[in-house]
Amino acid sequence: MGRLPLSVDECAIDLLALSSNDLCGPPGGGALWVRPEVALAPIVLGGGQEGGFRSGTENLPAIVGMGVAADLARNERAAEAARLTPLRDRLLDGLLARVEHARVTGPRGPRRLPHHASVVVPGVKADAVLLELDMRGVAASSGSACNLTTGEPSHVLRAIGCSPEEHEGSLCFTLGRWTTSAEVDTLLDVLPGVVSRLRRLAPR
């Protein structure tokens, strides 16, 4: 949402959960779109807030902030996608050219989210790469938040044929409304050296 056009009817969506922070809104807010004919039962009973589906004090500032963020995303989506897509492609092309054996996960082209760049880098542990990047002012992630507590590799990476070694070196970079070309250059300057050093230190 906020990155590509999304039609609940064309995609046959019955339930659509949205997070405020994914729209550059304040954390702590969210929304659930429900197709009218879908019947839901409340999971938290009490005062009847949220239309009776989720009782508890509502986070009004986050709700308002999410509304503003959603309005901005709707109005700016096309222009922002046009700005981020070439930055994303330059990031991916630069990583593939500078980091040996790295490969992009997911499709290239119009089906890829304009702000999303994910790669696998065999021969390194993602946690070590992320730590070094963080010390150099670069924020990134690895794997899936859904697998964080289990420590299991992402089922998506397994499904697209990544090897166990590639799972360990899974890196994800997301670009946003404040990402600049200079920041992409910083990553391209820093990451190859980090990977090279960690590969040299890896046990044989």
Within 10 angstroms of residue 96's Cβ, the number of other Cβ atoms is: 14
pLDDT recorded at residue 203: 74
Q: What's the pTM value of the predicted model, to 2 decimals?
A: 0.79
Q: Is 172 a catalytic residue?
A: no
Using one digit for the tens of pLDDT, what is the confidence trace for 25-51? Answer: 999 899 999 999 999 888 888 888 887
Per cent of the chain over pLDDT 90 is 57
| Active-site residue, selected from the candidate residues 24, 146, 162, 172 | 146
Q: Tell me the pLDDT tens digit for each residue of 123-174.
A: 999 999 999 999 999 999 986 555 555 566 677 776 666 667 777 888 999 9
Question: Is the per-residue pLDDT at 121 higher than 80?
Answer: yes
Tell me, which fold does domain 15-201 have in CATH? Aspartate Aminotransferase, domain 1 (3.90.1150)
Q: Give pLDDT tens digits for 71-85.
A: 998 898 889 999 999
Domain boundaries along the sequence of the chain: 15-201
Contact 23, 59 (CB under 8 A): no
What radius of gyration, in Å, describes the C-alpha atoms of the chain? 20
